[in-house]
Amino acid sequence: MKKKVVVIALGGNALIGAGQRGTMAEQFENVRKSLDGIIHCLREGFTVVITHGNGPQVGNLLLMVEACRNQVPEISLGVCVADTEGAIGYMIQQALTNRLRKEGINRCVVTVLTQVIVDKDDNAFSHPTKPIGPFFTREEAHRFRREKGWQIVEDSQRGYRRVVASPNPLKIVEESAIKTLLKAGDIVIAAGGGGIPVIMKEDGDLEGVDVVIDKDLASAVLARDIHAHCLMMLTSVEYAFLNFKQPNEQALHRLTVKDAQKYLQEGHFPPGSMGPKIQASINFLDWGGERAIITSIDKVKEAMDGRTGTMIIKG
């Protein structure tokens, strides 16, 4: 992998836009619209790895699981993550393959179902905070707590939801396979939805766990493990901001790791939105990456040229 490697993390809005139902036709169309930046990076000579979110898709799948609870065997959260990683990978893989043919670029696109190791002793297991799946009534919440042992909390006064742990990702299991594909010149889609969470048992066996891994943090681990030069996280806004949506909001164009850490600790980046992207950037640069970029899906070319977006560098 002599060429520079960029990991491009597509946010959830790349697949399901605001106000959309999330039909398959909508998702395919949204994926097609998100490919310009990837094509630009390929034209510039980068080796490209794509990651993506899966929050809406997992939520929809869990709704289906709940609706069929008494008709078919229940599917675990880990398997739901694997299902959506494969399905979304297929959508991106097909759309990108078609676009490459039209652009005259002869490259193969490969989706790798990616297992991501987490620490079974991570403190997050004792403090589940990530809401998933459908809303329940108070009575259903009590029953599921009793029957399934789920942690369930009231969510935004709209009902009750299951919460699961979100431990830190440690290592990409399929690292070697991804590197081999990249050396062969392929474009790889990996670590979708943060990857399939697994723990390593004392005998070395892997075992799935019903938690979720943040997509941006997993993307940083993947970028580290494959020695990427750049981590680009694409979302619905062009910049990271201080005082976001306040009268004194300030777009951040260029940040050092030190400044990013300072602003993160001051609470400028909420944990449910920009916070993980800033933390992933810090992690990636601390691990040896060259730069991290946060911008919108339609601004990849300008952000790669340093003309827009938030660029985070060492220092």
With tokens 């909420």, the residue in question is 270
Query: Which residue, 230, 246, 211, is CA-closest to 304?
Result: 230
Sign of the torsion angle spanned by Cα atoms 30, 281, 273, 193: positive
Determine the Cα–Cα distance for residues 259 and 301; give it in Å rounded to an integer: 25
C-alpha to C-alpha distance for 62 and 43, rounded to whole angstroms:
39
List of long-range contacts for 90-99, beta carbons under 8 Å, 24+ apart? 91/15, 91/27, 91/28, 91/31, 92/10, 92/31, 92/50, 92/52, 92/189, 93/189, 94/28, 95/28, 95/31, 95/32, 95/35, 96/35, 96/38, 96/50, 96/187, 99/32, 99/35, 99/39
How far CA 305 is from CA of 40, 184, 312, in Å, comes to 11, 27, 14
Q: How far apart are CA 259 and CA 135, in angstroms?
A: 39
Q: What is the DSSP track for 265-311?
A: HTT-S-TTTTHHHHHHHHHHHHTT-SEEEEEEGGGHHHHHTTSSSEE
Residue 238: CB atoms within 10 A of its CB come to 18
Three-state DSSP at 249 gives coil
Interatomic CA distance for residues 230 and 305, integer angstroms: 13
Active site residues: 12-13, 130, 215, 277
